[in-house]
Amino acid sequence: MTPALPSLPSPVQCFGTNMVAMVTPMETDGTLSKPGIVKLAEHLVATGCDGIVVAGTSGEAPTLTEAELTELVTLVKTTVAGRAKITVGIGTYDTAETVARARLAEDAGADGLLLVTPYYSRPTQAGVIAHCTDVADATMLPVMLYDIPGRTGTPFEAATLLDLAQHPRIRAVKDAKGDLFEAMNVMAATDLAYYCGIDELNLPYLAAGATGVVSVIGNAVADRNAQLIQAVAAGDLATARALHTDLVPVTEAIMRTSQGAIQAKVAVHALGIIPTAAVRRPLVEGPAEDVARITAVLPHMQAALAVA
Q: What's the Cα-to-Cα distance from 97 to each of 66, 94, 104, 138, 139, rounded to whole Å? A: 10, 5, 10, 12, 14
CA–CA gap between residue 8 and residue 62 (Å, rounded)? 29
Is the Cβ–Cβ distance between 205 and 175 less than 8 Å? yes
CA–CA gap between residue 25 and residue 43 (Å, rounded)? 13
Q: What is the pLDDT of residue 8?
A: 79
CATH of 15-222, one of 2.30.30.140, 3.30.930.10, 3.20.20.70, 3.20.20.140: 3.20.20.70
Is the Cβ–Cβ distance between 141 and 112 less than 8 Å? yes
Choosing from 39, 85, 174, 265, which is the catalytic residue? 174
Is the Cβ–Cβ distance between 112 and 85 less than 8 Å? yes
Type of residue found at 85: K
Regions of the chain with pLDDT less than 50: 1-3, 307-308
Q: What's the Cα-to-Cα distance from 88 to each of 15, 55, 57, 272, 299, rounded to whole Å? A: 10, 6, 11, 25, 31
CA–CA gap between residue 205 and residue 256 (Å, rounded)? 19
Q: What is the pLDDT of residue 307?
A: 47
The answer to whether residue 77 is catalytic is no
Structural element, H or E, at residue 185:
helix 180-189
The answer to whether residue 146 is catalytic is yes
Choosing from 77, 93, 146, 205, which is the catalytic residue? 146
